[in-house]
Structure 1
Amino acid sequence: MTGGELTLGAVLVRLEEREGEIAAQAETTREQIAQLTARLDELDRAAEEVRITRKTLLELPDPLPPAPPPSKLPDHPAYQQIMAVLAAAEAPLRARQVCEAMDLEIAPPRTAAPADLRFPLGVLLSPQPPLPAETADQAHDSRAR
């Protein structure tokens, strides 16, 4: 036999070495499969929990809308008096009737405000009385001249 030829013993040794390598790779792959199987089981459990949660939430009744916050009412004594008068009334009241029930002074009605209240800056007041209005014919005649 020459150096390029393998003897039966050398072939068997090489086969044993290769068999050992394959067995080691197979064992490593089995360990990886076991780890991946465990991870897959964890993911399956998590997915099942999510499905159960979704199903439970869908079975819940619709929530009621939140109640609006209570409005803050004034705590001034006059407000409390007005509310007491309105609560004691058997029918809706006008402002005058509320004032009468509270024994307040009622001012006489005014038909128009005085000029100094209507035009406080004097913008619309003229120092001279207004001129009489011209008729359309008079205005036309004065322009024609």
Structure 2
Amino acid sequence: MEEFGRVAEEVRITRKTLLALPDPSPPTPPAAKVPDHPAYRQIMAVFAAADAPLRARAVCEAMDLEIAPSNVNNVRLKLKRLVERGILTEPEQGLFTQPRP
């Protein structure tokens, strides 16, 4: 009976200790990786310097690309890929920005 009382006391102390511990924080998801292509690095540099959301045409201008439909569409596709990966957000159709913490 004495052994039972000792074990019960250990369980009580363990429970008290566990309840006093803070809740573990949820695991942080791994940071999204930018595709390893020079165009994506250029796009991210444009957004790092931007202080407002940008459209694909403005990104082309900032990258010194010719404003041609094919260039604008290619940049738009890359911007959409970055949104899918969680690197950029699209708060409004065709308007892209970096997520705010």
TM range (shorter): 0.5 to 0.7
| Inter-CA distance 42–94: structure 2 relative to 1 (3 Å threshold) | same
TM-score relative to the length of structure 1: 0.42
Q: Does 1:63 align with 2:24?
A: yes
State the Cα distance separating 1:87 from its structure 2 match. Answer: 1.4
Residue 49 of structure 1 is matched in structure 2 by 10
Matches within 5 A, 1:134-145: none
Choose which of 36, 42, 56 in structure 2 pairs with 1:81.
42
TM-score (structure 2 length as normaliser) = 0.57
* RMSD of aligned alpha carbons: 2.1
Q: 2:62 aligns with which of 101, 123, 126?
A: 101
Match for 2:37: what amino acid? H
Aligned residues: 70
Runs of 5+ unmatched residues, structure 2: 71-101
Pick the structure with more strand per residue.
2
Structure with greater helix percent? 1
From 52, 64, 71, the equivalent of 1:91 is 52
